[in-house]
Amino acid sequence: MNERILLGKWTEEKLDDLLKESPSARNAGKRIDFLSRQFIGVAYKEATLAGGADTPEVFVINLERVDCFTFLDYIEAMRISGSFPEFRENLKKVRYRSGKITYETRNHFFTDWREHNPDLIEDVTGHAGGGKGRNVMKMLNLRDDGTFYLPGVPRSEREIVHVPVEDVDDTVIQKLRTGDYIGIYSEKQGLDVSHVGIIVKESYKDKVKFRHASSAKRKVIDEDFIKYIAGKPGIIVLRPKGPGQESRVMGHGNKLNPCPLPLAPCP
């Protein structure tokens, strides 16, 4: 298997320590907050993954530079791991369906999380929206003109639930949790989201942050969530489930999705 590993400011030993000292996997939100906080300031770079319809896929770990999708990719794999070797193996299941390392089986769309790893991730958009969610049927990967965004990847008909931004009020915000993965809904045919990030709630300050890899700032940053989503079409909310014990994940053919969709820079 071809692979490329760039650990940036970490070593395998430091990552082992990081995964062991982070909060218990019994609290997914606290663990995701802790792990993702270590990435603040890490440089942004799109298209760090290697592979295509006519190019052999390379298994990549690049912690030096991330885009919005690979950032979530690494955090979710770390969440369910207790050491670097486990992280390395779990990342294959997070990034690829059934852990099979090919371009076609790479999880390219945000809503693949709920489709391919229902034991790890659930779509709580409808619940968070409190009846304000809107359902749209989409043919993912298919443009209006009939061409594919990603040649070599099958199209997929899927029902997408999103909460329009104008309906994201205090009631919706109260239902969001630290560690929720947020997708910015895309109105384009063939796409589910245009950007992704992580919710971090600071209850003592009554603030909600959006932690994401920003192409505008060229690094991983925290921004005010409400200000960030202003003017956007809507949000999709995916939530990590349960304790996420790494032994369970590695023992099955599970595959969580992060969505390294190389279509546009993360906003």
Long-range contacts of 141-147 (CB under 8 A, 24+ apart): 141/108, 141/109, 141/190, 142/189, 142/190, 143/189, 143/190, 144/189, 144/190
Per residue, the 3-state secondary structure of 92-131, as one string, reads: HHHHEHHHCCCCCCECCCCCHHHHHCCCCEEECHHHHHCC
Residue 27 to residue 29: CA distance in whole angstroms: 6
What are the residue ranges in the chain where pLDDT is below 70? 1, 25, 203-206, 242-267
Same domain, 187 and 75: no
Same domain, 170 and 133: yes
Question: Domain total for the chain?
Answer: 2
Residue 176 corresponds to which tokens in the numbers above? Answer: 């969001």
Same domain, 79 and 173: no
Look at residue 114 in the predicted model and tell me its pLDDT: 87
CATH number for the domain harbouring residue 36? 1.10.3670.10
Same domain, 96 and 137: no
Look at residue 257 in the predicted model and tell me its pLDDT: 35
Look at residue 266 in the predicted model and tell me its pLDDT: 65
Residue 111 to residue 101: CA distance in whole angstroms: 19
Same domain, 100 and 69: yes
Asked whether 71 and 212 are in contact (CB, 8 A), the reply is: yes
Same domain, 9 and 105: yes
Q: Is 264 part of any domain? A: no
Q: Is 263 part of any domain? A: no
Give the range of the structural domain holding residue 150, as residue numbers without chain letter: 120-240
CATH number for the domain harbouring residue 143? 2.30.260.10
Same domain, 98 and 172: no
Among residues 99, 115, 104, the alpha carbon closest in space to that of 159 is found at 115
Q: Is 260 part of any domain? A: no
